[in-house]
Structure 1
Amino acid sequence: MGGARFSRIEGVRTGGRDTAHDCRIDRHHRIGVQWQKITLTANAGSAARTGFPWTTAGCASTARTTGTNRTSSMKTEREHEEQLRKEGFFTYVHSDSAGAHYGDHTHNVISAHIILKGEMWLTVEGKKHFLKAGDRFDVPQGAVHSATMGPKGCTYLIGEK
């Protein structure tokens, strides 16, 4: 299985507007100069394929709002996304509410998590890791892991390959 990779990344600012709901995520995407609202809904096929039960509904584009506010030392969401794509990852952003918990599970892909906002406690193969804005953690394919979000929730960029 190999060990998980953990690295510190400079702080992150995002311009995205995600709102988590019990059964769906409404996300506003900037496509060209227009904003488009798409809804991510629970989908058993997506969960079986990727281990992550959310999929876009009614939208052919997966374009996403990227951060525009930054300081010279801050990486934007777009820069993190570009780096993950250069590494061969498919990327998307996910937001969870305060205290959201995902019990032990595995994925049939390598998944990289870059925390954009908030905090997450990630347990991988029995070892606990505290992640905050700017942290990256790569979970190896097939590794048993669980996650609990911090008291203010968590927004994170996910890469899968």
Structure 2
Amino acid sequence: MHRDAFLAQLSAEGFHEVVTVTREPDVSLGVHAHPFEAKALIVDGEITLRVGDEARLYRAGDVFHLPANVEHSEQYGPRGVSYLVGRK
């Protein structure tokens, strides 16, 4: 997905807080949850998100969605990751 289309989609879906997140290479973040819903477009690098027993790899151009309060863990790729994320 392209940045402009993603930003338009976020706005249409009520995601009015949009930030860019950048994480260092080969770092992981253990199981945690956020009090907000998040929808993100991977801009560079890669991230693996694990929810329960399911892990999924996201790369540049991919979009992920996490509802509020869903426990998950994160693993950042060898080049790290940068993503544009809408929160609500």
Relative to the length of structure 2, the TM-score reads 0.88
66, 77, 84: which one aligns with 1:150: 77
Structural mapping, 1:46-61, within 5 Å: none
CA offsets per residue over residues 19-75 of structure 1, 9 Å max, x none? xxxxxxxxxxxxxxxxxxxxxxxxxxxxxxxxxxxxxxxxxxxxxxxxxxxxxxxx2
Distance 1:124 1:153 in 2: 20
- Kindly state the Cα deviation for residue 126 of structure 1 after the two structures are TM-superposed: 2.6
Give the number of the structure with larger relative contact order, counting CA–CA contacts within 8 Å between residues 6 or more apart.
2
Root-mean-square deviation (Å): 1.3
The yes-or-no answer on 1:114 pairing with 2:41 is yes
The yes-or-no answer on 1:96 pairing with 2:26 is no
Runs (4+) of structure 1 exceeding 6 A deviation are none
Distance 1:129 1:119 in 2: 10
Relative to the length of structure 1, the TM-score reads 0.51
Q: Please tell me whether the aligned partners of residues 85 and 91 of structure 1 are also in contact (alpha carbons under 8 angstroms).
A: no
The yes-or-no answer on 1:80 pairing with 2:15 is no
Q: How many residues align?
A: 87
Q: Secondary structure at the match of 2:25?
A: coil
Distance 1:125 1:109 in 2: 18
- Kindly state the Cα deviation for residue 98 of structure 1 after the two structures are TM-superposed: 0.5
| Structure 1: runs of 5 or more not aligned | 1-8, 10-74
Aligned to 1:126: 53
CA offsets per residue over residues 91-142 of structure 1, 9 Å max, x none? 1111111012211101111111210111111111331001001111111111
